[in-house]
Chain A
Amino acid sequence: MKVHVDLYVNLKKYAPANASSFEIRLESGATVKTVLEVLKIPANEKAIVLVNGRNADESNPLTEKDTITLYSPISGG
């Protein structure tokens, strides 16, 4: 399946070809954790995870055309 990934703030450095908004292909049954592994985002890199703009975590299963958003914690606005 194909999913869309948006990486922001400090997570941008894990983007392939330096494009922070991109699509990737995953096997069916993939979860957010699969995306983190494919992009080689280390476990100690703190990331807020959203799937289609909603709260999610690593175990969140993914389906075709989902958008996964990952960004660093921000302490103030």
Chain B
Amino acid sequence: MTGWMGKILRVNLSNGKINQETLDPQVARDFVGGRGLAIYYMLKEVDPNCDALGNENKLIMTAGPLTGTKAPTGGRYMVTTKSPLTGAITCSNSGGNFPAELKKSGFDAIIVEGRAADPVYLWINDGTAELKPAGHLWGKDTHETDDAIRAQTDNKAKTAVIGPAGEKRVLFASIMNDRDRAAGRAGVGAVMGAKKLKGVAVRGTQKVSMANEERFNEMNQKYRGRFKEVKKAGPYPLTTHGTAITVVATQAHGVFPTRNFQTGQFEEWEAIYGEALTEKYLIKAKPCFSCPIACGRITKVPDGPYQGQGEGPEYETVYSLGSDVGVGDLAALTKANYLCNELGLDTISMGSAIACAMELYEKGHLSESDIGFPLKWGDGEALVKLTRQTGMREGFGDILAEGSLRMATRYGHPELAMVSKGLDLPGYDPRGTQGLGLNYATSPIGASHMRGDLPYCELLGVPVKIDGLTWADKPPIVVKWQNVFSLIDAAGLCVFFSIRYLCDPTLEIRPEGIMDLLNAATGADYALDELEKIGDRILNAERLFLLRAGFDRRQDSLPERFTTTPMPDGPAKGVVCHLDEMLEQYYQIRGWSQDGLPTEEKLNDLGLAGM
């Protein structure tokens, strides 16, 4: 095989057995890799009704055929498992250098099964793998763990590890690779912690072989050239200021979630957005493997109570640990971000849970004696303290660690948890981004902005600008975009580059560039229609897992705040999200019943009938 390494590493932590399996070429062709390959194995091997933190659940790390190649942004991997936060499937994507190193170590995927009796880490060195004791690492933060594992194996190794949050099964614990890159969403780190797997370290010197190297290089130059042309015209916002520059667009549209989504404009936005970060704390931009954009931020808060150094914040964090909790102190939110990285916490769900607690407190459902101190909007000190407490499951942090929905339910007000399928919303209010509202409600993992991210067109003008307030036109766009995003995640690419430079610049976003690169790498000779169908197949396979786990149309929902309470002010004033109307059309286009079930005909067409 070319593009693919052709090997899967299967690790059983219960009995310590490690096996290498051959990747079935037909499965590779039909599911590509990354998110696609992972859902294939999840459907085949994991009971959707299993205890997410029990021995039956599996943790699957998958690269794509373009991961570890020279393809622009070919450095992504996916972590897939049943989520302990939501009970749904989750797949969380990350970049950095770990994914490419995994591929170069000779594997397309790692399937982790069972549970170790004592803490271990997995060491993969150029085609061989072994489990090593990690009792001495238990309790260490992600940076300490990375240092220690590299010192014990190879200083050039790349790691993906958990911090105390994953060990303590915080339900939104992340897996941090390359120290500060996160597979963040829906508790993949808690699953790793429950398995007593402290980390995975990889070292690889193998080359990802190409079916047609000359053609691959030619296509690589062609699509990188598109980016270079745009960059020539002026500074590239993501490179100069990181993703936090996006605040400009969300604030202007009135969809920048503020104080637990009570409104969509934050009065202190200029203190926390990308340009403020550049001016105050940026040391340098940091690219992931093979990425020409470099949106990563290495930053330093030089002095004061929030002194520290690390990576971030990116846009979602500026929302969740900033506007959503009413914090306009960039130093405090950056410090909370560093803590999330070190303790291994998803910044979105961390901020969202604290925002929910702040609203419960504001409305008198949660008292000072419950928390241990007053909890007012904008309190940066409380933000940092609660983040630390959550990662360690100490004090009120033990309740926050269960996530916003369980906490809000505990205090009698589940409607104040800003979640879909139990997963906290990212930083765009769906009242002013109607298409994204449909994305949130139908994303297989719960509210995600990375499963067909409509803000690109509704807010950011990529590839074209459309109106975020209209809803009747959105279902067909959402279906197309969800399918193409699935393909991007399967190929091992980053959405940021792919959507703008590897797809045609219309709302159709036909993935021509992905096809060219995949074909040159794998020799699979994919047609464009076939690739779009693969995206559809992945989405439907994930839907099957969800349905078997007990989900249906009722969970394709949004909090009432968005569907019944009009936005109180700003440009989206008076608007609610028209989810029900959009869902009806969405199911029709998808070939699903009005209960949200894929029809037999649809499953047959996608080759999923037997699964």
List A residues at the B interface (Cβ < 8 Å): 6, 8-10, 44-46, 48-50, 52-55, 69, 71-77
Contacts and interface: CB of A to CB of B under 8 A. Distances in A.
Interface in B251-307: 252-254, 293, 295
B252 A75 contact: no
6 contacts: A48-B249, A54-B469, A74-B245, A75-B456, A75-B460, A77-B250
Contacts of A72: 234, 237
Given A9-B245, A52-B571, A53-B570, A73 B238 contact: no
B295 A76 contact: yes
A77 B237 CA distance: 11
B495 A76 contact: yes
Interface string B574-604: 0000000000000000000000000000000
Given A10-B234, A53-B570, A73 B252 contact: no
A71 B253 CA distance: 12
B315 interface: yes
B462 interface: yes
B245 A55 contact: no
Contacts of B316: 77
A77 B252 CA distance: 15
B56 interface: no
Interface in B22-72: none
Most A CB atoms within 10 A — which of B250, B455, B465? B465
B423 to A, nearest CB: 18
Interface of B: 233-235, 237-238, 241, 243, 245-246, 248-250, 252-254, 293, 295, 315-316, 427, 449, 455-456, 459-462, 465-469, 495-497, 499-500, 570-572
Contact of B248 (A8, A45, A55): A8
Nearest to B265: A53
B248 A73 contact: no
Nearest to A6: B252
> Which 5 pairs, one residue from A and one from B, show the smallest C-beta to C-beta distance?
A53-B571, A77-B246, A76-B496, A73-B461, A55-B467
A71 B252 contact: yes
A50 B495 contact: no
A62 B248 CA distance: 22
Contacts of A9: 237, 241, 245, 248
Contacts of A8: 248, 252
Chain A binding surface, main DSSP class: loop
B460 A74 contact: yes
Most B CB atoms within 10 A — which of A9, A69, A72, A77? A77
A45 B234 CA distance: 9
B499 A75 contact: yes
A10 B231 CA distance: 11
Nearest to B496: A76
Contacts of B449: 77
Given A8-B248, A74-B460, A54 B233 contact: no
A76 B500 CA distance: 9
Nearest to B467: A55
A71 B249 contact: yes
A75 B496 contact: yes
Contact of A69 (B252, B295, B468, B572): B252
Nearest to B315: A77
Nearest to A57: B465
Given A50-B253, A77-B315, A44 B233 contact: yes
Contact of A55 (B293, B455, B466): B466
Most B CB atoms within 10 A — which of A6, A10, A45, A48? A48
Nearest to A12: B275
Given A9-B248, A53-B570, A76 B243 contact: yes
Given A46-B461, A53-B571, A74-B460, 13 more contacts: A9-B248, A44-B233, A45-B233, A46-B233, A48-B461, A54-B571, A71-B248, A75-B460, A75-B499, A76-B246, A76-B495, A77-B315, A77-B460
Contacts of B466: 55
Contacts of A48: 249, 460-461, 465
Given A55-B466, A76-B496, A10 B237 contact: yes
B184 to A, nearest CB: 15
Contacts of A6: 252
B501 to A, nearest CB: 8
A74 B274 CA distance: 12
B468 A55 contact: yes
B422 to A, nearest CB: 23
A10 B235 contact: yes
Contacts of B250: 77
A77 B462 CA distance: 12
Contacts of A53: 252-254, 570-572
Contact of A74 (B249, B253, B254): B249
Contacts of B248: 8-9, 71, 74
B570 A75 contact: no
B409 to A, nearest CB: 30
A50 B243 CA distance: 20
B455 A77 contact: yes
A58 B439 CA distance: 30
Contacts of B241: 9
Nearest to A49: B465
B271 to A, nearest CB: 15
Contact of B500 (A44, A54, A55, A75): A75
Nearest to A10: B234
A45 B427 CA distance: 28
Contacts of A50: 252-253, 571
A75 B295 CA distance: 10
A46 B249 CA distance: 15
Contacts of A46: 233, 461
Contacts of B245: 9, 74
Contacts of A10: 234-235, 237
A74 B455 CA distance: 10
Contacts of B467: 54-55
A72 B252 CA distance: 13
